[in-house]
């Protein structure tokens, strides 16, 4: 099964929690055991599993990326001024795969799924959710 969800982002660099959206797709599929892959379409965004307790970890991820990969100093900036966005997305990667255990995603208490926007605001970002049923 596959479903595309859309997410709008409001900032240039931000992590957006999409866990509940993915949970809804998993629940709708009715899969008891398998895998769910979450993949963002686009070369300037990524998907990350990270702590969900408060915003501090997400803010720290954004701050780290800005320090590691500053804006405005890359060769690609001559084309469309977003060289840093491409590099950040490349480091994070476009997808995560999570096991489905007893009908639910096998995330721990402190794990959530985040869309990492590095070139926002964007309306919309397409995220492809692919489910594989291991019992079929």
User: How many structural domains compose the chain?
Assistant: 1
What range does the domain containing 27 cover?
2-133
Kindly report the CATH number assigned to the domain that includes residue 73: 2.60.120.460
Task: Give the chain's residues under pLDDT 50.
Answer: none
Could you tell me the two tokens for 53?
């307790």
Question: Residue 42 carries which DSSP code?
Answer: S
DSSP SS3 for 127: strand
The reported pLDDT for the residue numbered 136 is 80
pLDDT (0 to 100) of residue 60: 97
């Amino acid at each position: 099964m596959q479903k595309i969800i859309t997410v709008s982002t409001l900032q240039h660099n931000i992590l957006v929690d999409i866990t509940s959206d993915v949970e809804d797709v998993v629940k709708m599929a009715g899969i008891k055991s398998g895998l769910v892959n979450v993949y963002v379409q686009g070369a300037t965004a990524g998907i990350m599993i990270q702590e969900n307790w408060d915003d501090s970890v997400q803010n720290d991820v954004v701050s780290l990326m800005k320090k590691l990969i500053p804006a405005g100093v890359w060769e690609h900036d001559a084309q469309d001024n977003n060289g840093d966005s491409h590099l950040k997305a490349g480091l994070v990667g476009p997808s995560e795969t999570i096991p489905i255990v007893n009908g639910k995603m096998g995330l721990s208490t402190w794990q959530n799924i985040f869309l990492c926007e590095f070139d926002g605001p964007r309306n919309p970002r397409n995220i492809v959710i692919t489910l594989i049923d291991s019992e079929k």
